[in-house]
C-alpha cells in the first residue's frame, strides 16, 4: 500500500477548493447541502480518507452540524462546506467534496478535541 504524502502541521484550517470537475452530484440544487462524489450526504462523524490520510468530518456548515468542541461562532461568513480533522489534528475546510475525499464509514460525532492536537510546537 502506498504511503500517504506527509502533511505539515498547521494551527489554522486550510481552505481548499476543488480543481476538478465535481459535477452535478456534488453540487446540488440546495446550495447548503454537500455530498460526496458518490452522492451520499456529508455528516459530522463521517470517517473519510482525505488524500490518503484518515480524517473525520467535524463540521457541516449548511446543515448546522457542529461536533462538540467545534463551535458555530466564527463561521458567520461561511454559507456552505464542511471541515475535516485528520487523525494527526490538522483541520481542512472544503466547500465541495472532490475526488480526494472518500467516505469510509458513518460514525458518531467525534469527541471533544483534547489539548494535545498531535502537533508539536
Which region holds residue 47: left if phi is over 0, alpha if psi is between -120 and 50, else beta? beta
Residue 23 is classified by DSSP as H
Cα–Cα distance list, 90 to 27, 44, 61, 101, 119 (Å): 26, 16, 18, 15, 8
Its pTM stands at 0.67
3-class DSSP state for residue 61? Answer: helix
- pLDDT of 17-76, one tens digit each? 444 444 444 444 566 689 999 999 999 999 999 999 999 999 998 888 999 988 877 666
Amino acid at each position: 500500500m502506498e504511503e500517504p504524502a506527509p502533511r505539515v502541521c498547521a494551527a489554522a484550517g486550510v481552505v481548499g477548493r476543488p480543481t476538478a470537475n465535481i459535477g452535478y452530484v456534488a453540487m446540488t440544487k440546495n446550495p447548503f447541502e454537500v455530498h460526496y462524489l458518490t452522492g451520499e450526504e456529508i455528516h459530522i462523524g463521517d470517517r473519510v480518507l482525505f488524500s490518503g490520510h484518515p480524517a473525520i468530518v467535524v463540521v457541516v456548515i449548511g446543515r448546522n452540524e457542529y461536533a462538540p468542541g467545534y463551535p458555530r461562532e466564527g463561521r458567520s461568513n461561511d454559507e456552505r462546506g464542511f471541515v475535516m480533522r485528520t487523525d494527526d489534528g490538522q483541520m481542512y475546510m472544503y466547500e465541495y467534496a472532490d475526488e480526494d475525499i472518500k467516505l469510509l464509514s458513518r460514525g458518531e460525532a467525534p469527541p471533544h478535541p483534547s489539548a494535545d492536537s498531535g502537533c508539536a510546537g
